[in-house]
Structure 1
Amino acid sequence: MRRLLAIFVAVVMLAGCVLGPDYKRPEIAAPAAFQYATRDAADSADTLWWQQFKDPVLDALIDEALAHNSNIAIAAAKVEQAAALLPQVRSQLFPQLGYGANAGRERAREPAFAAHLPDYPNPTNSYQAGVSASWEIDLWGRIQRQSEATLADVLATNEARRGVVLSLVASVANGYLQLRGLDAQLVVARQTLQTYAESVDLFKLQFKYGQVSMMNVAQAQSQYEAAAAQIPLLESNIAQTQNALAVLVGRDPGPITRGSSIDQLALPVVPAGVPSQLLERRPDLLQAEQQLIAANAQIGAAKALYFPAISLTGSLGNASAELSKLFTGPARVWSYAGSLVGPIFTFGAISGQVAQAEAAQGAALLNYQLSIRNAFADVDNALAANSNLKKQLQAQIRLVAALKEYTGLSRKLYEGGYTDYSTVLQAEQALFPAELNLMSIRAQLLVSSVNIYKAMGGGWVTRADRLTAGGGRPPATEALPPPLF
Structure 2
Amino acid sequence: MEPRRREHPPMKTSRTLLVASIAWLLHGCMVGPDYKKPEMALPVAYKETPGWLKAQPDDAAPKGDWWAVFHDPLLDQLEPMVSVSNQTVKQSDANYQEALAEVQIARSALFPTIGITGSATKQRSASNGTGNTVSVNPGIRTAGSLEGNVSWAPDFWGKTRRTVEENKATAEASAATLANATLTEQVALATAVIDLRVTDANIDLLSRTVDAYKEFLRVVGNQGKAGITPPSDVITARTQLENAQSSLIALGVSRARYAHAIAVLVGKTPEELDIPHSTALPTLPSVPVGMPATLLQRRPDIAVAEREMAAQNAAIGVAIAAYYPDITLSGADGFSQSPLAGLLHVANHVWSLGADVSETIFDAGARHGQVAAARASYESAVANYRGTVLTALQNVEDDLAGIRILAQQAEVLDAAVSDATRGSEIAFNEYKAGTVDYTTAVTAQTTLYSTQQNALDVREQRLLDAVSLIGDTGGPVPVNTPEAR
Which TM-score band (shorter chain)?
0.7 to 0.9
Using the TM superposition, give the Cα deviation of residue 340 of structure 1 relative to its aligned residue in structure 2, in angstroms. 2.1
* Aligned residue in 1 for 2:426: 409
Q: How does 1:289-300 map to 2 (within 5 A)?
A: 289-300=306-317
- Is the 2:165–2:314 contact (alpha carbons within 8 Å) kept by the matching residues of 1? yes
Q: Does 1:337 align with 2:354?
A: yes
**Residue 236 (structure 2) aligns with:** 219
Q: 2 CA distance for matches of 1:116 and 1:428?
A: 119
AA matched with 2:29 = C
Amino acid at match of 1:454: G
**Partner amino acid, structure 2, of 1:377:** Q
Q: Of the candidates 42, 46, 49, which is equivalent to residue 55 of structure 2? A: 42
TM-score for both structures, normalised by structure 2: 0.87
Question: Is 1:346 matched with 2:359?
Answer: no
**Structure 1 residues 341 and 40: alpha-carbon distance in aligned structure 2, compared to 1, 3 A threshold:** closer
Residue 275 of structure 2 aligns with which residue? 256
- The answer to whether the aligner puts 1:95 opposite 2:125 as a matched pair is no
Of 293, 302, 325, which aligns to 1:285? 302
> Which stretch shifts more, 247-256 or 270-279?
247-256
**Cα distance in 2 for residues equivalent to 1:123 and 1:360:** 65
How many angstroms does 1:250 deviate by? 2.5
Q: Partner amino acid for 2:280?
A: S
Give runs of aligned pairs for residues 29-178 of structure 1, distance below 5 A.
Answer: 29-37=41-49, 40-42=53-55, 47-105=64-122, 118-119=135-136, 125-178=142-195
Question: How many residue pairs get matched?
Answer: 459
Evaluate the alpha carbon distance shift between residue 115 and residue 250 of structure 1 in structure 2; reply closer, same or farther with a 3 A threshold: closer
Structure 1 range deviating more: 353-362 or 134-143: 353-362
In the alignment, is the contact (CA less than 8 A) between 2:82 and 2:89 conserved in 1? no
Aligned partners of 1:416, 1:257: CA distance in 2, in Å?
42
Q: Does 1:315 align with 2:332?
A: yes
Q: Give the drift of 1:210.
A: 2.0
Distance in 2 separating the partners of 1:120 and 1:207: 130
Alignment of 1:18 onto 2:18: no
1:436-471: per-residue Cα shift (whole Å, max 9, x none)? 22222212211211111110014779xxxxxxxxxx
Deviation per residue, 1:206-234 (Å, 9 max, x gap): 22232221011011112112211211221
The partner residue of 1:187 within 192, 204, 208 is: 204
Pick which of 129-138 and 200-209 moved more. 200-209
Q: Which runs of 4+ in 1 moved over 4 A?
A: 2-9, 43-47, 105-117, 120-125, 257-260, 458-461
| Partner in structure 1 of residue 6 of structure 2 | none
Give how far 1:44 is off: 6.9
Question: What's the counterpart of residue 28 of structure 1?
Answer: 40
Q: Which moved more, 1:290-299 or 1:343-352?
A: 343-352
Alpha carbons of structure 1 residues 402 and 277: separation in structure 2 relative to 1, 3 Å:
same
Q: Deviations over 1:390-417 (max 9, x none)?
A: 1121121122222222222322332333
Match of 2:386 among 353, 369, 384: 369
- Could you tell me whether the CA contact under 8 Å between 1:40 and 1:270 is conserved in 2? no
Structure 1 residue 419: Cα displacement: 2.3
- Judge conservation of contact 2:329–2:355 (CA < 8 Å) in 1: yes
> Structure 2 vs 1, CA of residues 100 and 455 (structure 1 numbering), >3 Å: closer, same or farther?
same
Shift of the alpha carbon at 1:305? 0.9
Q: Alpha carbons of 1:348 and 1:125: their partners in 2 closer, same or farther (altered >3 Å)?
A: farther
Task: From the superposition, tell whether residues 354 and 124 of structure 1 become closer, same or farther in structure 2 (CA, over 3 Å).
Answer: farther
- Aligned counterparts of 2:57 and 2:313: Cα–Cα separation in 1: 35
Change (3 A) 1:458 1:266: closer
Q: Does structure 1 retain, via aligned residues, the 8 Å contact 2:84–2:90?
A: no
Q: d(CA) in 2 for partners of 1:168 and 1:407?
A: 43
State the partner residue of 2:405.
388
Q: Which residue of 2 aligns with 1:441?
A: 458
C-alpha spacing 1:114/1:362, structure 2 compared with 1 (3 Å) = farther
Greater Cα offset, 399-408 or 213-222: 399-408
Evaluate the alpha carbon distance shift between residue 154 and residue 407 of structure 1 in structure 2; reply closer, same or farther with a 3 A threshold. same
Report the Cα offset of residue 203 of structure 1: 2.0
Residues in 1 aligned to 2:462 and 2:133: alpha-carbon distance in whole angstroms: 107
Q: How far apart are the structure 2 equivalents of 1:323 and 1:165?
A: 63
Query: Would the alpha carbon gap of residues 84 and 428 (structure 1) be closer, same or farther in structure 2, given more than 3 Å must change?
Result: same
Please say if residues 126 and 133 of structure 2, whose CA atoms lie closer than 8 Å, have aligned partners that are also in contact. no
Instruction: Measure the CA separation in 1 of the matches of 2:15 and 2:353.
Output: 11
Paired residues of 1:242 and 1:256 also in contact (CA < 8 A): yes
Deviation at 1:12, TM superposition (A): 2.8
Unaligned runs of 5+ in 1: 462-485
The offset of 1:74, in angstroms, is 2.1
Deviation at 1:362, TM superposition (A): 1.3
Q: Whose relative contact order is higher, 1 or 2, with alpha carbons under 8 Å and at least 6 apart?
A: 1
State how far apart, in whole Å, the 2-side matches of 1:94 and 1:69 are: 39
The TM-score, its normalising length taken from structure 1, stands at 0.87
8 A contact 2:69–2:285 mirrored in 1? yes
Contact 1:246 1:256 in 2 (8 A): no
Instruction: Give 3-state SS (helix, strand or coil) of 2:364's partner.
Output: coil
Determine the C-alpha separation between the residues in 1 that align with 2:128 and 2:381: 70
Q: State the AA in 1 paired with 2:289.
A: A
Amino acid in the other structure paired with 2:346: G
